[in-house]
Structure formats: C-alpha cells, structure tokens
Structure 1
Amino acid sequence: MSDHILVLYYSRNGATKAMANRIAQGIESKGMQAKIRTVPDISDGIEFKQPIVPSEGDLFVQKADLKACAGLALGSPTRFGNMAAPLKYFLDSTSSQWLSGALVDKPASVFTSTGSMHGGQESTLLSMMIPLLHHGMVLAGLPYTHPELHSTTTGGSPYGATHYAHREKSSKLSDDERALCFAQGQRLAMIAQKLTTL
C-alpha cells in the first residue's frame, strides 16, 4: 500500500499553493510522505497552455498519481463559488480511474482560497467534494475540536481549510489558517494510516 498522500492543487496568485505546502507539512509530521502536484492552465479553447513539464514549480499531476496515492488533498481558488476550470478539467478526465475504482475507500480533504470574505469558500469546497464522492473516497473535514475554528477572523471551515486573501490577493496565511492547514494534513494522514491497516 502507498505511503504517500497526493496534495493536488491549482493556484493563480500563490495562496492555494501556500496552503498546499502547509497541508503537506502536516501530512509529513505524521510520518507519511506528501506528493505535491498541480494542474496546468487551460486556454479559452479548453487546451492546455503550458508544456507537459513546467519550467519551474511543482510538477503537473499524472493520472497514475491517483492510483498510487493513499489519500488526496484537493485545493483550488474559488471561481464564482466553484472550483477553478483547470482543476475541474483534470477531474473531468478521470473516468477511467472512476471505472477502475482507483480512489475507492481512500481518504480525501479539500481546501480553497478567496479574495473576499464571502466569496464562496464553502460552496467551492462542496463543489470539490462531489467528484470525490463519485470516486468513492472517504471525506475528512476539520472538526470543531480545533480551537482555531472558533477564533479565526480570516479563513477556516469545518468543510476544509480556507484562506481569505483580502483585496490585495495576499498569499500570506494567517496564524489560524496555517494551523488549520497543518491540522488538516495531520488528520488526513492519520485517517489514511488507519484505513490502510483495515
């Protein structure tokens, strides 16, 4: 069984990438590896804008990464209360993984970033959960035992970690957001470890 969790994200201004890195730290604090991957931009014609291998930054996800992972953390900035098109485009192409059951019974969590406080964080998280449920994944949110969910004045949700970037599109996470991302990674790793022993 795999000993790593796939942290898959799309980021335009860096905030979702910062969240992915912090979630990966939480995963690795529990003794599992985090494999961070992203998806390429797409053009108006729904074609990839970038080469197969990026010139810098995280590598692009491959379909084989889904089968190989022990769990999945999925992140996207919000686009009108929904996940961003590049991530949706990738998920829409995973029919063969759905048919083969590549993700069945693996744990998953979701995370997002918005430029405004009420910019659709929770609906974006819910939109990312739907294809994961179709894939048969076990969804893990953030329980209210995390004190930051009670104290945060920035991001944070029981549906998954969130970041409020304000108008200046800041990718700097608040202390509460950093704590919740880390906790989400830890929880995902703990659940993956428990499920692999069943």
Structure 2
Amino acid sequence: MTETEKAIEAALFAAEEPMSVEELSRFLGDAPYGDIRDGLEALAEHYAERGLRIVERGRRWHFETAPELAHFLRREREQVRRLSRAATEVLAIVAYHEPVSRAEIESIRGVQTSGGTLDVLMEAGWIRIAGRREVPGRPTIYATTPEFLDHFGLASRRDLPGIAELRAAGLLDPVEEAFEALVEADEPAVEESFDEAPAGTG
C-alpha cells in the first residue's frame, strides 16, 4: 500500500462525512486528483472482500459495512417503513427526471401530488429542494440526495435501471403499459396512481 493510499484510508476513516476527490486532495495538501482517484480505486479493490468496503456514492467516498454482514450489527430488527404508492411514484419521477417541479411531477403522473408526499420524501432524506425554475412563478424544483444513492446502493444516477432491466426482473408486470406511458426516451418512470384526484381538478 502506497503512502497516498494510507493517507486516503486514514482520512476516510476519521471523516464524519463522505469525502469527494477534491476534498481529499485539499486534506492531503493539494495532492493531484489523479493520484487520489488511483488511490481510491486501489483501496476499493483492497477492501472488496473484507468486512468493510470503501465505496463511492454520488461522487463522494466513505467506508461502509459489507452488505452481507450488516445483519450481524443490528441489535434489533428494524421495522420497515413502506412508502405509499404515491410517494414511490414521486420518488421514481424525481430520480429519473430531476430536477423537476411539482407541476412537472403531476404532469407525468396525471394526478395531483400532495405537499405531504414530498414532505415524507424530504424527511426520509431522499429528495431535496434544488432551487427554483426560472419561469413565471419560479416554481420550486426537486432532486435526489446522496442519501438516496447510498440507500439504494448506487454510485450515481447513471446506475438507475433501464426499462429492459426492469422488464427482465419482472417489475413491469402487470402494469407495464401504464409504466411505459410515463417514460421519456429510455428513462423508466412509474405506474399511474388511483389514490389521488386527477391533476387540475379540485
């Protein structure tokens, strides 16, 4: 292991938050970005078969427990909090179309979206307010967070599954037609919900 790799390892171990290549470079005295990236890739390979892993989530790196060992560290079984259908649909639309406004979410879903649905996703830490659209009314726009990528084990949004992968996994049946109706290009969206009023209605 090189001195750079040791320094990166120590920095990630001591850090309270995941660190980007730029942050690691500054922490290590403006080390060249290429050296940092090479060191991170070497460390990720070194830890690949260990109880701890060094992983990238949203362009930031950190240690995490190997997925197959996580159950050993849970002293009690966590109660799974299931998202409502509406929240699941909204989360998928934000993930595949971000940044996106509430009106755009409603246009894709074909139904109104309550503010409470967005609040639930923000409280979970999976979506965030990303600014305002520069159009009349300047509507708030939403995007996913690094916590969203971390929870679903994604390095970036490029790792989101496409329609072919979802179909192969059997996740489009029996709502495939409704699902594909919401897709733009090759980006998968979600099935239509019937638990909220059609968009534009009282």
Same fold, judged at TM 0.5 (above): no
TM-score range, shorter chain: under 0.3
Instruction: Please state which structure has a larger fraction of its residues in helix.
Output: 2
If you compute each CA radius of gyration, which structure gives the higher value, 1 or 2?
2
TM-score normalised by length of structure 2:
0.25
TM-score normalised by length of structure 1:
0.25
